[in-house]
Structure 1
């Protein structure tokens, strides 16, 4: 969809890093919140936001989770307690801190300081899950947050606009052999937890979900012009939009100085 010029701006992929969001977010409870940087599409999926709502957001459509106002790097869902993706590194920290303070204030969790650091192989979803389980458990016990460094290797360039010509092919091949999705499939089969047929059925289902999301997003309407200032100002009608939700400057009387404002 990006190369068909149906997505605008930058789109940053998550290929090779799927084990991190899956290992953590699937252990969270409904009342837990997350805040992240860009590449937030996979976190949004892991959090339970429908694929059609996410893809519609990437296409800036009115049917999306942010009504087309967030775009690729700013996916938000109050319903799913996803506090947003943020384009600048570190922007999510004060948001997460605020959420932690809110939880502390409501006496739902313990102190939001005193941080333990842990390193984990971010290409192994099961190892990530174990670390996440302990980190989340510590938070629920009131023992504070945990800084978890998940060491991963992204398979694509910085964004879809990045031709990714700077990395050595041997380096790419080395990490491709550690693909977290391929590794998990092998683990499931080797331990008789799933068959090849089971996994093919899942792949087929995912293809259907993606195709449906693409069709839904592509056919969805773009946001109306009257929505431009919604969620920007507390009183958007006080900033150039009249009671009829039209811009006041569209009123012929506006330039004459006789429009009712």
Structure 2
């Protein structure tokens, strides 16, 4: 049974959050095309219900760690659109001082621990954060996201073993959008049911409809409750879909337009909007007001990024490990 009720306010929150994430990512893609944003860039368009359902079922003290498709997770946890956009511009006012870019967002104040470019590299880190929470005696839970390609990494098996052995408060979440870059899940392993990987460790594991924020909310809520009761981790395979390519350089020749349109027909933003209208929880004026507010916030973030300074050259030597005392060499 869900400990966090789904109410009218939940639906209104879901709609506004998902629309904000969608518009932010659309603007990001547009700016990338104008070469204002460069380097690697992976958009979240289509997968918004995953993070929306997560946020409504968790609390501020819970932490998130994820892959390089990280914009939505960071923004949902509270990172400002200005800090996010400035980071993608490579500006000093960005969340990682302009030195991380799209793939390396970080926001300690909001318990968002990246943004990781190494495929699967965040999996043991998520368990490590959970270990720290347990050691400190808090009731906070870590939500550790990964893509369907990352589950083939050996680090996942090592982490699952330790997390179960120590009953760590972590929820492992596979955002299964069907493709590891351009390789379908069906071509990477004998089983397409990724959640079954957790069963070998007797870890509670299940598939979830990632196009439905209600299903995500309920699954996350159940997993988080288990973790707070000191009963250990859960493994969720949240089945979702990205409408855009793996990255901005992806020609998407590995899937058909019909397949993409099939998923767009059940777009979670439109499904939630339909529910709100059906229940008469808001009228068209409210939707227009939300859209205008979001546009203004994103436009302001772009202006902020455009006008922000580049990092000073001295920043090359900060936030890195370096041996500064070489006297021992002379001795």
- Tell me the TM-score normalized by structure 1: 0.86
Cα distance in structure 2, aligned partners of 1:178 and 1:73: 28
> C-alpha deviations, 1:189-236, integer Å up to 9, x for none?
11222222211211111111110111101111110100112111266x
Say if 2:276 is the partner of 1:198: no
Q: 1:119 to 1:72 in 2, by over 3 A?
A: same
Structure 1 position 228 matched with structure 2 position 313? no
C-alpha contact (below 8 Å) 2:211/2:268 kept by paired residues: yes
* Residue 160 of structure 1: how far off its partner (Å): 1.1
Within 2, Cα distance between the matches of 1:27 and 1:52?
Answer: 26
User: Where does 1:1-261 land on structure 2 (aligned, <5 Å)?
Assistant: 1-109=31-139, 111-112=167-168, 115-233=203-321
Counterparts of 2:325 and 2:246 in 1: how far apart (Å)? 40
Query: 1:118-163 deviations in whole A, cap 9, x for unaligned?
Result: 2111001111111111111111111112111110111001111112
Structure 2, unmatched stretches of 5+, are 1-30, 140-165, 170-201, 327-331
CA-CA distance at 1:88 after TM superposition: 2.4
Aligned partner of residue 271 in structure 2, secondary structure: helix
Could you give the per-residue CA deviations for residues 54-93 of structure 1, whole angstroms, max 9, x where no partner exists?
A: 0111111100111011110110011111111111221111
Change (3 A) 1:167 1:139: same
Q: 3-state SS of the aligned residue for 1:79?
A: helix
Match of 1:249 in 2: none
Alpha carbons of structure 1 residues 172 and 232: separation in structure 2 relative to 1, 3 Å = same
Q: Are the aligned partners of 1:26 and 1:47 in contact in 2 as well (CA < 8 Å)? A: no
Question: SS at 1:148's partner residue?
Answer: strand
Number of aligned residues: 238
Structure 1 gaps, min length 5: 240-261
Q: Which residue of 2 aligns with 1:250?
A: none
Check 1:26–1:227 CA distance in 2 against 1; reply closer, same or farther (3 A cut). farther
In structure 2, how many angstroms separate the alpha carbons of the residues matched to 1:168 and 1:238?
58
Kindly provide the CA deviation profile for residues 23-82 of structure 1, in whole angstroms up to 9, marking residues without a partner as x: 113432222211100110000111010011001111111001110111101100111111
Structure 2 CA distance for partners of 1:230 and 1:210, relative to 1, 3 Å:
same
